[in-house]
Amino acid sequence: MAFKGKAPGTGAGDISRRTEALRPVILLSPREVQQARTMRRQGMEPARIAETLGHPLDEIEKALVQMRMPRPETTRGTLNVTLAAHRVVMAERRNDEPLWQTFDRIIDELLRMRRQSAGRPQAATTATRTRAAASPAPMLPGF
């Protein structure tokens, strides 16, 4: 299938000129900025990077502040539910409990009730049964 429309220009993906104009001037070469960022990703502290590269700490910090870092895990997710399901979750909410905690608690209770109504799972080992009987630990981590 042929590309429809106009192909991206040569500057596609580059930083906006307006954003670049608003940023403070860094008195480091692009190569030194990249070295500083690489050192930071490796776990070096800004003071140590400044000492290693022989530049003032404030210049190194300006280079590092603009650095993008991957997040170790997502902070939230989206759950598409009906308005009726949303109302159920909101009705189950305790005080100012975060919605994710409410949802996890509801699911945990549901799974525990299913396990109790169906009896013990057939594939459970003796160690699992003993551990489950000793403490009613939640089925979801963190609860």
Q: What is the pLDDT of residue 77?
A: 66
**Interval 17-41 mean pLDDT:** 89
Task: Taking residues 135-139, report their average pLDDT.
Answer: 53
* pLDDT tens-place string over residues 37-74: 999 999 999 999 999 999 999 999 999 987 776 666 66
CA distance 53 to 68: 21
Percent of the chain with pLDDT over 70: 73
Residue 119, CB-side half-sphere exposure with 13 Å CA sphere: 2
Which residues in 62-95 are b (16+ Cβ under 10 Å) and which e? Answer: bbbeeeeeeeeeeeeeeeeeeeeeeeeeeeeeee
Q: Whole-model pTM?
A: 0.42
Residue 112, pLDDT score: 93
Domain regions of the chain by residue span: 19-65, 93-143
Assign 3-class secondary structure to 4-70. Answer: CCCCCCCCCCCCCHHHHHHCCCCCCCHHHHHHHHHHHHCCCCHHHHHHHHCCCHHHHHHHHHCCCCC
